[in-house]
Amino acid sequence: MRPGLLWRLMVIQFVLFRHGLDEIVLALRIFRPIRFLTYLSPWYWFSRNRQRSRGDRLVAALEDLGPIFVKFGQMLSTRRDLLPPDIAESLSALQDRVRPFSNEQAKQRIERSLKAPVDELFAQFSSAPLASASIAQVHAATLKNGDEVIVKITRPGISKRIRNDLEILYAIAGLAQRYWSEGPRLHPVEVVAEFDKTLMNELDLQREAANAAELKRQFDGSEMLYVPKVYWEMCRKDVLVQERIFGEPIAKTQRLRDAGVNMKVLAERGVEVFFTQVFVHNFFHADMHPGNIFVDIKNPDNPRYMAVDFGIVGSLMQEDQRYLAENFHAFFNRDYRRVAELHVESGWVPRDTRVEEFEAAIRTVCEPIFQKPLREISFGHFLLRLFQVARQFNMEVQPQLVLLQKTLLAIEGLGRELYPDLDLWQTAKPFIEQWMRERIGLKAMLKRMRTEWPYLNEHITALPRLTIQAMYSIEQQQTQLAEQQQKLDRLSQQTETQGRKNRYTLLGGLLLLAVLLLEGPQLTQIGFAGLSWLGWLLGIIAAGLLIAGLTRSQANPDS
C-alpha cells in the first residue's frame, strides 16, 4: 500500500476511535482476540461521545472523514440488510454538509475549462454558491442573452481524493468479505464497485448533461415532470451550465399547502413519475432526495415536479426489469407463491430453497401492510423485515438493484410528507399491469413480431437452404463423433493389451524369482535357507495374479 494511503487509513482509524467507534471496529472477527484493548483507549474512559447512540457517532465520524464516506453512508442507509437497525436509521438522515470552496477557485476552474474569462461568458456571476455538495458546487449566473442559468463546478482535487478513498473502501470490503460470516452473501466488494461506478459517473458533468437531456426528451410536454435545458456549448467534464428553475422546494410542505397545491395529486404524480421512469423508459433519476426536487405551483390544482442534479441515474437489465415487474404484480395480487418462485428462478435465492417455506415467510411480512394508507406503513421497517427473511433463506445482495431501492425509499419519504393517506398500492398497480400487458401478453408478442418482421422478411427466403446446411452440419458432426469414438476404443484396447503384457511380465518375473529362491542350491549352501519361505510367498502371489487375470478375461472376453 502506498504511504499516502497508509496514512489515510491511520487517519480513518483515529477518527473512528475518537468518536467512540472502537466497539464497531473491534467487533470484526479478525480483531476479537485483541478486543480487550478497548479498555486501554483513553477515549473509552474520557470521551463524552459514548453518551450518544452509536448511529449518531458513526454519522459524525463519516462527516469528519469527508464527502466520499458521507455518500457511502447514504448508500448504505438503503441497504438495511447490511446494518443493524439503529445504525441504518441514523444513516438515513445523513446529508452532505460540505464547506464551499472559494469563488476565486470556482472562476479559475470555469475559465480553464471554457477557455474564456468569466466576465466574457456571463453577464452576471454570483460569488456565493447556491449549494455545495460532495462532488461539486453550484453558482447562479446570467448569460449575455439574458437567460438565467446555474453553473455547476466540480471540487478541486476531488478525483484524486475519491480514488484514494475508494481504494481504502475496497480494502475494507475485501476484509469484510473474507472474515465476516455474512460477507459471501452480501458481496461487499460488489457493493463498493457499484458505488465506484456511480461516483465516477458523478465526476463527469458532461455525462450528467447527457442524462438531463435524455430525461427531458422522455418527459417532453409532460404535466408530471419538468427537466431544465442544457447549454451544451458551455458544458465540459468539470463544468455544467443549465437552465435555472424557480419552484418551491419539495421539503417546504407548509409553503405548498399555503399556496393551495393539491397535495394528493402531487403525491400520486411522484409515484407515477417513478414507475414511468423504471418500467416505461427504464431510465430513472436515482438521487431524488428533497434537495433535488422542486414543485412548479403556477397551477396549484395541476402541480408539476421540477428535477435537478442528474449525476446519478439508473437502468435495469431486461431480465431484472421483468423479474421486478412480475414480483410487483404478484405482490399487488397477494400471490406470494409466485413471488417466492420468481426469487428462485432469478437466482436471488439458492435453487434448493423450499418454495413453500419461503412463500410462508413472505406472507408473514407482507400481509399485515396491505390496503393501509402510507401513514400507517413504514417502508424502512417493511424492508428490514424482508431483509431478515432474505437472510434466513441466504438471499444474496443484488448490487444492480441498490440504486432502485434507494430511489424507492426516497419516494416513500416524499409521499409520506406530502400526502400521508396516499394508497401506494392502488397508485402503482395500474403501471405494473400495463407493463405486463405490453411486455408479456398478446400485445407484446404482436409488437415483437412487427419489430422483427423486416429481419424475417429479409432472411426467410434463405431459410430452406440454411436448414439443409444445418442438417448436413449435424450429420458431419455425428460422423466425426463416431470416428473419434472408434479411435478412443482402439486406444483403450491398446492400453489394455499393453497392461496385460506388463502384468504377464511381472508374473513371469515373480515366478522366476520364486524358483530361484526355492531351488537355488548355492543360496542354501551359504546359509540363506530361510529365503525359501520368501520363494513360497512370491509363488502364492504370482498364482493369485494369474487367477485374477484369467477371471477378468472370462468376465470381459473382448479384452
Instruction: Please check whether residue 24 lies inside any domain of the structure.
Output: yes
Instruction: Please check whether residue 516 lies inside any domain of the structure.
Output: yes
Task: Tell whether the model's pLDDT for residue 529 goes beyond 60.
Answer: no
Last residue of a domain, one of 175, 196, 217: 196
Instruction: Please check whether residue 524 lies inside any domain of the structure.
Output: yes
Instruction: Please check whether residue 427 lies inside any domain of the structure.
Output: no
- Catalytic residue (choose from 287, 296, 320, 352): 287
H-run or E-run covering 239: strand 239-243
Summarize pLDDT for 532-551 with one digit per residue, the tens: 555 555 555 656 555 555 55
Q: How far is the C-alpha of 398 from the C-alpha of 123, rounded, in Å? A: 48
Last residue of a domain, one of 196, 211, 239: 196
Instruction: Please check whether residue 267 lies inside any domain of the structure.
Output: no
Q: Has this prediction a pTM greater than 0.95?
A: no
Is 196 designated active site? no
Summarize pLDDT for 492-506 with one digit per residue, the tens: 887 777 766 666 566
Q: Which CA distances in Å does 551 have to 37, 398, 496, 541, 556?
A: 72, 60, 15, 15, 9
Last residue of a domain, one of 170, 196, 222: 196
Copy the grid coordinates of residue 514: 520364486
Instruction: Please check whether residue 106 lies inside any domain of the structure.
Output: no
Most confident of 3-7, 94-98, 391-395, 468-472: 468-472
Instruction: Please check whether residue 470 lies inside any domain of the structure.
Output: yes
Question: Measured at the alpha carbon of residue 143, what is the angle toward residues 140 and 146, in degrees to the nearest 5?
Answer: 105
Average pLDDT over the chain reads 77
pLDDT at 523: 46
Number of domains present in the structure of the chain: 2
Domain that residue 480 falls in: 463-555
pLDDT at 139: 96
DSSP 99: P
Summarize pLDDT for 7-66 with one digit per residue, the tens: 666 777 777 777 777 665 555 555 555 555 555 555 555 555 556 777 788 888 887 887
* Among candidate residues 77, 96, 54, the one with its CA nearest the CA of residue 195: 77
Q: What is the mean pLDDT of residues 265-271?
A: 89
Partnered with residue 293 across adjacent β-strands are 307
Summarize pLDDT for 353-396 with one digit per residue, the tens: 888 888 898 888 887 776 666 567 655 556 556 666 766 777 66
Instruction: Please check whether residue 477 lies inside any domain of the structure.
Output: yes
Question: Measured at the alpha carbon of residue 10, what is the angle toward residues 5 and 15, in degrees to the nearest 5?
Answer: 125
Copy the grid coordinates of residue 491: 486406444
Task: Tell whether the model's pLDDT for residue 306 goes beyond 90.
Answer: yes
